[in-house]
Structure 1
Amino acid sequence: MPIDAAKALAAEPRTGDISWTTKDVQLYHLGIGAGIPATDPGELRYTLESRLHVLPSFATVAGAGAPGVISGLSLPGVEVELAKVLHGGQTLEIHRPIPAEGTATATNRLAAVYDKGKAAILVLRTEVADADGPLWTNDAQIFVKGEGGWGGDRGPTTRLEPPAGEPDLTVERAIREDQALLYRLSGDWNPLHADPDFAQHAGFDRPILHGLCTYGITLKAVVDTLLGGDVSRVRSYSTRFAGVVFPGETLRIRMWQGEGSVRVAVSAVERGDAPVLADTVVQHS
């Protein structure tokens, strides 16, 4: 069996130092569409080093320390083909605001392996702390097609009841044709997002946008609108990747306000509001 769940879960955590600079933060922000309009004071908080604050979703790329799709395939007990792998979901818990530059220790481990019958799900956890204590915890859910069926734990359901009523706010965000090419410079080199031949081998007619790019675009929209532009208010952020986005499309982001939380649904406008992000929740102060 390509996935040996017992061996994978028994593997020792991998620990190493990571670091990032203001340039890394700025590049990430540009990769998720910040800086339009370029002179807007709200956008300068993402692009100008003298005013820089850090969108919490930067944690998914900081120092290339978070385990992504490719790094998850190098774990002991995991031997699968990259073309069979998709990013299924992401959960981020922020323990305190991320500094604009820093050095920290990242501990990566496989937190769970679930058997979904026709697929397996790997939960890759990264815990990051600096000299002042914990900064963030990342869980990436990696979906591996055709690797289930060994009779293992199916895992908890992540499906939520749809939000009630009409959204409190709806915004649209255009995706540039080169958005994936720019975003991948922050460290996710999966050829699915750049190489047309690889994308076709994986079952797509052209490269798709990184799920974590959509993830960042969506959090920015919530922060900029319902949270008054204050990144420090974000406590946690979770989503399920329900569908793909192609560069050049438009995202429709619907938001429902609750007590200390925002429910979000994201769809692709040009494909009849095809679902992109589902079961999405931003917890905030």
Structure 2
Amino acid sequence: MAFKRDPSLPPIDYERIMALTKSARHEWTEKDVIIYALGIGLAQGPMNCEELKFAYEDGLKVFPTFPIAVGFHGNAMEDVGIDYRYVLHGEQAITLHRPLPFIGQVNATSKMVGAWDKGEGRGAVFSHEKIMTLDGDTKPLATIRTTAFARAEGGFGGPQIEQPKPHQPPERAPDRTVRIATTPNQALLYRLSGDLNPLHADPDTAIAAGFPRPILHGLCSFAICCRAVLTEFCDLDPSRIIHHEARFSSPVYPGEVLSIDLWKDGETVSFEARIEDRNIVAVRSGKTILSA
């Protein structure tokens, strides 16, 4: 399906967008931490005391991917001039440098790190990196890299070289497989953490973008995969996660079940997530690095 770019948008200039930077300030409270945990499906069982620690202020823990939600806005990519009606999340990565506090303020700097033109009618890929530093600190708290697939932007004149090769899971059978069900209203809850794109809530917007109904946020699926790693290999200790990355290959609809395959090699966990009923891989090239 070809997507026609809004003609009122200014043309995309490669040299201009690659020079883009942006500074932002973000802050959060215990409430934000809890809403995020609920949005990614934690603490659905009222007697699951370990998951409850991510959603209850008594002994509150911060989920490792939470900084991505905190820093969702205020990015260099916002100034590229993409037609966001036709944008899909392509890849996501987060590296955690310091323990995450449940109340905090950060200064963040963002810059463009890549733009790949797939050609007229084939879309384009844009990537930016954000570094977040806590107030009063000099060392980074987290580094976030976000890649978007802009389906209406192909042919803008950027380089057509291949993107960096994604991580590949081992060829052996997975060491473990975890089933995690999403809920029919999960996108409505997850969007309270900052991503208010109507694609995830409004049926008319979803249909106009080529989907039969609203889709789940890719970042929610990303965090669900982190849940699987955290549960299976970390005893739900968030301090064990120091890096988490993945590529999104197919949208997930709220209410579907993800079957997540996991391979552990030393402190590296590879993963892929498949939509169980449709037998479609939704998240691939996943890699989590654990602390020793």
What's the TM-score, normalizing by structure 1? 0.92
Q: Which runs of 5+ in 2 are unaligned?
A: 1-9
Match of 1:122 among 126, 143, 159: 126
Identity of matched residues, %:
37
The secondary structure found in structure 2 opposite 1:128 is strand
How far did 1:62 drift?
A: 1.4
Match of 1:6 among 3, 15, 26: 15
1:229 partnered with 2:236: yes
Tell me if the contact between 2:14 and 2:158 (Cα under 8 Å) persists in the aligned partners. Answer: no
1:138 partnered with 2:144: yes
How far did 1:87 drift?
A: 0.7
The secondary structure found in structure 2 opposite 1:134 is coil
Measure the CA separation in 2 of the matches of 1:4 and 1:151.
8
1:47 partnered with 2:55: yes
The secondary structure found in structure 1 opposite 2:54 is helix
Tell me if the contact between 1:60 and 1:66 (Cα under 8 Å) persists in the aligned partners. Answer: no
Aligned to 2:164: 157
Measure the CA separation in 2 of the matches of 1:52 and 1:63.
20
Aligned to 2:263: 256
Name whichever structure is richer in helix by fraction. 1
Measure the CA separation in 2 of the matches of 1:233 and 1:222.
10
Aligned to 2:29: 21
Q: Which runs of 5+ in 1 are unaligned?
A: none
Aligned to 1:113: 115
How far did 1:80 drift?
A: 3.0
Match of 1:31 among 36, 39, 42: 39
Q: Which amino acid aligns with 2:183?
A: R
Tell me if the contact between 2:248 and 2:282 (Cα under 8 Å) persists in the aligned partners. Answer: yes
Query: What is the correspondence of 1:146-225 to structure 2 with a 5 Å cutoff?
Result: 146-149=152-155, 150=157, 152-225=159-232
How far did 1:155 drift?
A: 4.5
Tell me if the contact between 2:130 and 2:145 (Cα under 8 Å) persists in the aligned partners. Answer: yes
Tell me if the contact between 1:115 and 1:155 (Cα under 8 Å) persists in the aligned partners. Answer: no
Tell me if the contact between 1:236 and 1:282 (Cα under 8 Å) persists in the aligned partners. Answer: yes
The secondary structure found in structure 2 opposite 1:59 is helix
RMSD: 1.7
Tell me if the contact between 1:123 and 1:139 (Cα under 8 Å) persists in the aligned partners. Answer: yes
Q: Which digits, 9 at most, give the CA deviation of each residue in 1:112-151, with x for residues without a partner? A: 2122232211112111001222100111101111423325
Aligned length: 277
How far did 1:58 drift?
A: 0.4
Is the alpha carbon distance of 1:81 and 1:146 closer, same or farther for their aligned partners in structure 2, counting shifts above 3 Å? closer
Measure the CA separation in 1 of the matches of 2:26 and 2:269.
31
Tell me if the contact between 1:2 and 1:80 (Cα under 8 Å) persists in the aligned partners. Answer: no
Tell me if the contact between 2:114 and 2:126 (Cα under 8 Å) persists in the aligned partners. Answer: yes
Q: Which digits, 9 at most, give the CA deviation of each residue in 1:73-110, with x for residues without a partner? A: x30xx333222211101011111121111011011222
Q: Which amino acid aligns with 1:89?
A: E
How far did 1:29 drift?
A: 0.3
Aligned to 2:247: 240
Measure the CA separation in 2 of the matches of 1:195 and 1:115.
30
The secondary structure found in structure 2 opposite 1:50 is coil
Match of 2:105 among 103, 106, 129: 103
